[in-house]
């Protein structure tokens, strides 16, 4: 096993000392931050732009709803024909003209509203106008049929269903959001890790082939030792990079938000947004308390242990396949045909995780996919926050480990034969033959 | 036990292709053993089996009388034909790494590397990257790494490719010195002149079968045809030729020498000795050149491969 540690050490050091690795490690978080900052800045710029919209309301019923806001200034026109109004708007270079036709009955007004503009108008502005008009027209219709609008407003009720399992654990919507966030982050992290560092392993195997050192090495160590050493060494380099990214990213975020005062809350992931929404309800204090409770309600110990095992298991499973691909081909362009079967289950896992687990964490689809070894690491990690029975976790982990052993055996076979094969672009049939050498 | 390495009817199939068919070789201790054969004959497969890179389907390989085991890796130094080094790694670091993989301790490896780097006068390369070196320079490093752990058995597959004549000679001398210090060498090449110079024993593999093996001199004796190159000086070449033709079998001669009027290859039958021929010739003309034709390794190689 002394050999293994030597190989791991070499792989780790060459990866970490590699110039492009260092540059990527330092620059990636900075580029990310810069990108986020630019996007945030641009969207702010866009939001701040004030647009003027002319309104020609011939019905005379709706003028009261056009109140100037931060983004839109309304220019109310009166006693003017539509043609003249359009001309005027054009001459003044105003953003657009909203025209409400003259109709006596409320029923038909909605069908005679039109927006004229130079270019097709922004979707948010149109839907904003539509909302305003709809609300006002609904109110007017209700009034006409003799309904007291005040009464309707006061009788509107907000319901937040409290949840309690049969064993007495209370939870709420916030719990679920938090669970989703945890599961999603864990699953996504694994997905990214596999793609980035799996590729790195593959490239390093190919490099050994093209530099023709492989036979020298193989006459000293067993192929499986070399393969495992590569996988572990590269993973350690990957973890190093990830940790540096987290630290740098954190520092950069902190500095950026301190200096430029960019409101970070504005650019968050959908999950965080959902949390934000949940928190921005009234009774803020109570909500925060609930979030804290929800956090402590999570099966934290289970999460951490499962994360470690499924992450390692899933990562090793995939990286051994990447190593096998690297061994089978001569150069990176030949890898395409073998990449698909690896990426498919991975992408499938993420889709199942995102769409099915959120909807129904313990449904048939989620459960089945959390047992199939190629998808189980991602899907199970997303399911676990919702509470998965230990026997299921163990069974899934057992299957994963079993498959991992098989894939390492398989990869080692391909690896042993493939690393000494040059100049051939292997087909699947060829690979099958290699298994029997 | 006089043989360091014995392969006993080793066979290997790749799918339907038979790469080795019951090949047996014995490599005597302290010898330089030439493993010869045309391209694709199965030499590299046999070498890989000896290095435990691939496993034989049938047969067994014994090192020092023991079946090959993984610890034997340390007793073998292998310079493959397809060779290279990590391009972006520094020379010293890389040599240390490869030496450690062969089981040397770091301090041991450092000491021996210093010895070899001084000997080959390449000490200043220690901190260079391989990609900064020329191909021949990288080959030197590769050679040092192969022999560094003082293996009992050295296997060189085309060791001189990529070297200029001066460096090829340098490496050849190092190989001979290693042999003198007790190492056994298996040497695979197409370059017959280096076989002639270096090898004591050879084995010839052709189309997955071993077709010839043994002591090189013994093989040459086996292949010689009792033919003598004769250079004569005479004023009447036609007449002399005619006389000789009546008594002996004469073949056209192609050897080169300075100023003989008559050049002949004369083949003797079973009963006539070289002395008989020589005394016959001295009565007919002045003998300037009289040499037995010894088949070269090249002749043996070509003849054997063609006949099989």
DSSP state letters, A221-240: S-HHHHHHHHHHHHHHHHHH
How many domains are there within chain B? 2
Q: Is residue B305 part of a domain?
A: no
Residue of chain A minimizing CA distance to B51: A219
For the ranges A25-39, A41-55, A199-213, B169-183, the one whose mean pLDDT is highest: B169-183
Residue of higher predicted confidence among B260 and B35: B35
* Distance (Å, whole) CA B61 – CA B68: 6
**Does the beta carbon of A429 lie under 8 angstroms from any beta carbon of chain B?**
no
Residues within 8 A of B (CB atoms), A 184-223 only: 208, 211-213, 215-222
Domain C-terminal end among B172, B192, B221: B221
CATH number of domain containing B63: 3.40.50.300
Mean pLDDT of B196-206: 90
> What CA–CA distance (Å, rounded) separates B74 from A283?
74
* CA-based nearest distance B90→chain A, Å: 10
> Looking at CA atoms only, how far is residue B82 from chain A in angstroms?
6
Chain B contacts of A437, Cβ < 8 Å? 14-15, 54
CB A46 within 8 A of CB A70: no
pLDDT tens-digit series, residues B156-190: 998 888 888 898 899 999 999 999 999 999 999 88
On the question of pLDDT at A264 being above 70, the answer is: no
B248 and B160 within one domain: no
The answer regarding whether domain A51-140 maps to CATH 3.40.190.10 reads yes
B184 within some domain: yes
Residue B35 predicted with pLDDT over 80: yes
Statement to judge: residues B169 and B98 lie in one domain: yes
Task: Please tell me the distance from the alpha carbon of residue A33 to that of residue A159, in angstroms, as a whole number.
Answer: 39
**Contact (CB, 8 A) for B113 and B99:** yes
In a domain, B300, yes or no: no
Asked if residue B308 belongs to a domain, the reply is no
- Whether A47 has a pLDDT exceeding 50, the answer reads yes
B29 domain-assigned: yes
Residues B187 and B69 in one domain: yes
State yes or no: pLDDT of A261 exceeds 60: no
B48, B84, B98: residue with CB nearest A211? B84
If we measure between CA atoms, which residue out of A187, A190, A186, A179 comes closest to residue A362? A179
User: Is the Cβ–Cβ distance between A298 and A179 less than 8 Å?
Assistant: yes
pLDDT band at A366 (very low <50, low <70, confident <90, very high): confident
8 A C-beta contact, residue B36 and residue B93: no
Taking only the tens place, the pLDDT of each residue in B238-290 is 888 888 888 888 887 777 766 666 788 888 877 788 888 888 888 888 888 88
| Co-location of B185 and B280 in the same domain | no
Q: Which domain-ending residue is among B169, B202, B221? A: B221
Q: CA triplet A306, A311, A314: central angle to 5 degrees? A: 120
CA distance, residue B13 to nearest chain A CA (Å)? 8
- The pLDDT of residue A276 is 52
Average pLDDT of chain A to the nearest whole number: 80
A 2-31: CB under 8 A from B: 3, 6-7, 10, 14, 18
Would you call B40 an interface residue with chain A, using a CB distance cutoff of 8 Å? no
- Asked if B207 and B60 sit in the same domain, the reply is yes
Question: Does some domain include residue B134?
Answer: yes
Q: Which two tokens stand for residue B256?
A: 């080169």
Strands (E), A157-257: 163-164, 170-171
Averaged over B181-202, what is the pLDDT?
A: 89
Mutate to test the interface with A, among B16, B82, B91, B94 (most CBs of A within 10 A): B82
Average pLDDT over residues B128-135: 89
pLDDT (0 to 100) of residue A144: 83
For residues A394 and A248, give the distance between their C-alpha atoms in angstroms, rounded to a whole number: 36
Q: Is the pLDDT of residue A283 over 60?
A: no
pLDDT single digits (tens) A87-112: 888 888 788 888 888 777 777 787 88
ipTM entry: 0.78
Distance of CA A255 to the CA centre of its chain: 25
Domain ranges of chain A: 51-140, 173-435
Q: How far apart are CA A221 and CA B70, in angstroms?
A: 9
More confident residue, A64 or B32: B32
How many A/B residue pairs have CB atoms within 8 Å?
A: 63
Q: Which two tokens stand for residue B211?
A: 């077709």
- Name which of A6, A14, A437 is nearest B100 (Cβ-Cβ): A6
> Are residues A281 and A289 in contact, defined by beta-carbon separation less than 8 angstroms?
no
- Residues B138, B240, single domain; the answer is no
Give me A158's structure tokens: 């907000």
DSSP strand pairing (B66-67 vs B58-63):
antiparallel
Helix (H) / strand (E) element for A157: namely: none
Secondary element (H or E) of residue B3: strand B3-14
Range of B254's domain?
Answer: 225-292
- Residues B207, B241, single domain; the answer is no
pLDDT band at A265 (very low <50, low <70, confident <90, very high): very low
Residues of chain A contacting residue B101, judged by C-beta atoms under 8 Å apart = 3, 6-7, 217, 220-221
Q: Is residue B255 part of a domain?
A: yes
Helix (H) or strand (E) holding B124: none
Residue of A nearest to B106 (CA): A6
pLDDT of A284 higher than 70: no
Same domain, B256 and B166: no
Which pLDDT score is estimated for A361? Answer: 79
Task: Mark residue B26 as left, alpha or beta (left: phi above 0; alpha: psi -120 to 50; beta: remaining).
Answer: beta
Q: How far is B165 from chain A (nearest CA, A)?
A: 24
Contact A215 B70 (CB under 8 A): no
Mean pLDDT of chain B: 87
Task: Classify residue B302: in a domain, yes or no.
Answer: no
End position of a domain, from candidates B221, B250, B270: B221
- Residue B272: phi and psi, rounded to 5, are -75, 140
Whether B283 and B191 map to the same domain: the answer is no
Mean pLDDT calculated for residue range B294-301: 86
């Amino acid at each position: 096993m002394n050999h293994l540690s030597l190989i791991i050490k070499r792989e780790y050091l060459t990866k970490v000392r590699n110039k492009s690795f260092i540059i990527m490690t330092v620059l990636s978080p900075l580029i990310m931050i810069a990108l986020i900052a630019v996007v945030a800045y641009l969207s702010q710029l866009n939001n701040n732009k004030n647009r003027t919209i002319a309104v020609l309301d011939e019905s005379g019923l709706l003028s009261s709803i056009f109140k100037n806001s931060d983004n839109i200034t309304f220019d109310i026109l009166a006693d003017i024909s539509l043609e003249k109004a359009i001309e005027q708007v054009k001459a003044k270079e105003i953003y657009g003209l909203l025209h409400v036709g003259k109709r006596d009955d409320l029923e038909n007004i909605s069908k005679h509203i039109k927006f004229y503009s130079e270019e097709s108008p922004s979707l948010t502005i149109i839907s904003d106008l539509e909302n305003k008009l709809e609300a006002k027209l609904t109110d007017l219709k209700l009034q006409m049929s003799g309904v007291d609008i005040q009464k309707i407003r006061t009788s509107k009720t907000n319901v937040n269903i409290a949840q309690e399992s049969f064993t007495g654990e209370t939870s709420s919507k916030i719990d679920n959001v938090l669970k989703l966030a945890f599961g999603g982050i864990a699953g996504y992290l694994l997905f990214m890790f596999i793609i980035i560092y799996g590729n790195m392993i593959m490239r390093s195997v190919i490099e050994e082939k093209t530099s023709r050192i492989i036979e020298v090495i193989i006459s000293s160590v067993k192929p499986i030792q070399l393969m495992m050493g590569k996988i572990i060494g590269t993973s350690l380099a990957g973890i190093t990079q990830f940790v540096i990214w987290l630290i740098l990213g954190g520092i950069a975020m902190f500095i950026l938000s301190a200096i430029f005062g960019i409101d970070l809350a504005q650019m968050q992931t959908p999950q965080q947004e959902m949390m934000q929404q949940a928190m921005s309800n009234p009774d803020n204090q109570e909500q925060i308390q609930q979030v804290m409770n929800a956090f402590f309600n999570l099966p934290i110990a289970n999460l951490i242990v499962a994360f470690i095992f499924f992450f390692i298991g899933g990562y090793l499973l995939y990286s051994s396949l990447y190593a096998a691909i690297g061994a089978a081909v001569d150069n990176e362009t030949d890898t395409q045909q073998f990449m698909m079967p690896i990426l498919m289950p991975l992408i499938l896992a993420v889709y199942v995780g995102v769409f099915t687990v959120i909807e129904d964490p313990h449904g048939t689809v989620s459960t089945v996919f959390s047992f199939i070894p190629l998808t189980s690491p991602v899907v199970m990690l997303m399911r676990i926050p919702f509470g998965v029975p230990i026997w299921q976790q163990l069974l899934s982990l057992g299957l994963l480990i079993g498959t991992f052993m098989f894939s390492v055996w398989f990869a080692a076979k391909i690896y042993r034969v493939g690393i000494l094969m040059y100049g051939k672009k292997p087909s699947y049939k060829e690979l099958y033959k290699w298994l029997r050498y | 036990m006089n043989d360091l390495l014995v392969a006993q009817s080793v066979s290997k199939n790749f799918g339907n292709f038979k790469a080795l068919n019951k090949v047996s070789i014995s490599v005597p201790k302290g010898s330089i053993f030439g493993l010869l054969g045309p391209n694709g004959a199965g030499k590299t497969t046999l070498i890989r089996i000896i290095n435990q890179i691939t496993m034989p389907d049938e047969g067994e390989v014994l090192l020092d009388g023991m079946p090959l085991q993984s610890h034997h890796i340390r007793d073998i130094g292998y310079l493959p034909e397809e060779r290279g080094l990590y391009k972006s790694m520094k020379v010293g670091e890389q040599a240390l790494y490869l030496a450690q993989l062969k089981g040397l301790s770091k301090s041991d490896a450092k000491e021996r590397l210093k010895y070899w780097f001084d000997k080959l006068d390449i000490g200043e390369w220690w901190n260079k990257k391989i990609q900064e070196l020329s191909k021949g320079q990288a080959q030197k490093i590769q050679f040092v790494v192969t022999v560094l752990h003082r293996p009992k058995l050295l296997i060189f597959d085309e060791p001189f490719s990529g070297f200029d004549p001066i460096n090829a000679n340098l490496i050849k001398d190092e190989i001979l010195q290693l042999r003198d210090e007790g190492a056994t060498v298996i040497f695979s090449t197409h370059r017959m002149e280096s076989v002639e110079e270096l090898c004591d024993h050879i084995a010839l593999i052709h189309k997955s079968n071993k077709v010839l093996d043994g002591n090189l001199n013994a093989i040459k004796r086996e292949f010689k045809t009792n033919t003598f190159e004769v250079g004569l000086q005479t004023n009447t070449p036609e007449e002399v030729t005619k006389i000789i033709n009546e008594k002996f079998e004469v073949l056209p001669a192609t050897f080169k020498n300075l100023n003989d009027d008559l050049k002949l290859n004369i083949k003797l039958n079973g009963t006539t000795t070289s002395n008989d021929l020589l005394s016959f010739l001295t009565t007919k003309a002045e003998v300037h050149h009289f040499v037995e034709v010894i088949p070269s390794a090249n002749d043996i190689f070509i003849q054997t491969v063609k006949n099989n």
